């Protein structure tokens, strides 16, 4: 099977490439600025704003499946319209497509969201992701849309880097105590995406961990895992900050989990404390992490 990873130079894209290669796939990947030259993969420059560029890459690679792990932030041309252009080309060439979406498509008003929940975004990024979902399924009904949450793993994610910088005092900022998500490990997410890519399940799927934690609680778990002092992590409320966004979005992934062999682990499972925190004489208990989420 030939697998094309869109956004292969990103955090998730790199893990998708690693797992696809390990599974014996013929793997190609795209990049927008520079390729990851460490990965033994055929790389192709791709501009999701350009339909001709998309068609040219698909014609060269001739993939059996596309996994779109690209990230364009709130850029409407890239995040909303780019995946729709990709879906048009994939449908024309008869290529299966798996698209990575986000829990940002929800406002948090309902708190708990399963695959039947309708998007109600409150941010430009969430609106772009929601628009991409609608357009892809209208054009390519056999495609699979995978909504996920905070992606953690290997110490390389943006949130893990932020925790290290805050705990060591090399960056100003704070972790929100009222912003709750269901983090997923990048290894589990990539495995689930490739498993869905190899099948024929279409429509909306949720792939997130079963544990709901605040960004600050997540920071505590990462700090304890990495031997940092969690008491050094500053806290704040998103509700009081100048950064708008949904507060409590918990993806219910149980329906998708039932069709997957890949086990979606909770964050407490994949961030066990491994070291004594620096600057303390004893290990710290995970404060605020017991009981109901």
For residue 22, give every residue at least 6 positions away whose Cβ sits within 8 Å of its Cβ, in sequence order, or none.
none
The per-residue pLDDT for range 95-116, each reduced to its tens digit, is 999 999 999 999 999 999 999 9
Record the pTM.
Answer: 0.91
The per-residue pLDDT for range 184-241, each reduced to its tens digit, is 999 999 999 999 999 999 999 999 999 999 999 999 999 999 999 999 999 999 999 9
Which residues on neighbouring strands pair with residue 248, listed in sequence order?
180
What pLDDT is attached to residue 244?
85
What pLDDT is attached to residue 243?
87
Q: Is the pLDDT of residue 284 over 60?
A: no
274 pLDDT tier (thresholds 50, 70, 90): low
Q: Is the pLDDT of residue 147 over 70?
A: yes
Contact in structure between 29 and 51 (CB atoms under 8 Å)? no
């Amino acid at each position: 099977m030939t697998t094309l990873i869109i956004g292969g130079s990103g955090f998730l894209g790199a893990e998708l490439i690693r797992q696809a290669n390990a599974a014996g796939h013929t793997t190609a990947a795209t990049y927008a600025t520079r390729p990851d030259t460490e990965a033994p993969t055929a790389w192709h420059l791709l501009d999701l704003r350009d339909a001709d560029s998309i068609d040219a890459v698909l014609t060269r690679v001739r993939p059996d499946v596309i996994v779109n792990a690209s990230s364009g932030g709130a850029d409407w041309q890239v995040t909303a319209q780019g995946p729709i252009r990709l879906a048009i080309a994939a449908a024309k060439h008869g290529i299966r497509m798996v698209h990575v979406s986000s829990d940002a498509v929800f406002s948090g008003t309902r708190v708990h969201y399963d695959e039947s929940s309708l998007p109600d975004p409150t941010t430009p990024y969430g609106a772009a992701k929601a628009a991409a979902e609608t357009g892809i399924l209208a054009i390519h009904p056999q495609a699979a849309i995978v909504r996920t949450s905070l992606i953690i793993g290997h110490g390389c994610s943006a949130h893990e880097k932020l925790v290290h910088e805050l705990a060591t005092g090399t960056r100003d900022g704070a972790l929100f105590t009222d912003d709750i998500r269901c983090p997923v490990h990048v290894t589990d997410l990539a495995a689930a995406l490739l498993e869905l890519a190899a099948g024929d399940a279409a429509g909306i799927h949720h792939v997130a961990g079963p544990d709901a934690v605040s960004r600050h609680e997540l920071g505590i778990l990462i700090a304890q895992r990495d031997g940092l002092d969690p008491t050094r992590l500053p806290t704040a409320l998103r509700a009081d900050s100048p950064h708008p966004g949904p507060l409590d979005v918990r993806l219910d992934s149980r329906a998708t989990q039932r069709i997957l062999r890949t086990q979606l682990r909770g964050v407490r499972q994949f961030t066990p404390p491994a070291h004594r925190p620096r600057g303390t004489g004893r290990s710290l208990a995970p404060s605020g992490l017991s009981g109901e989420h």
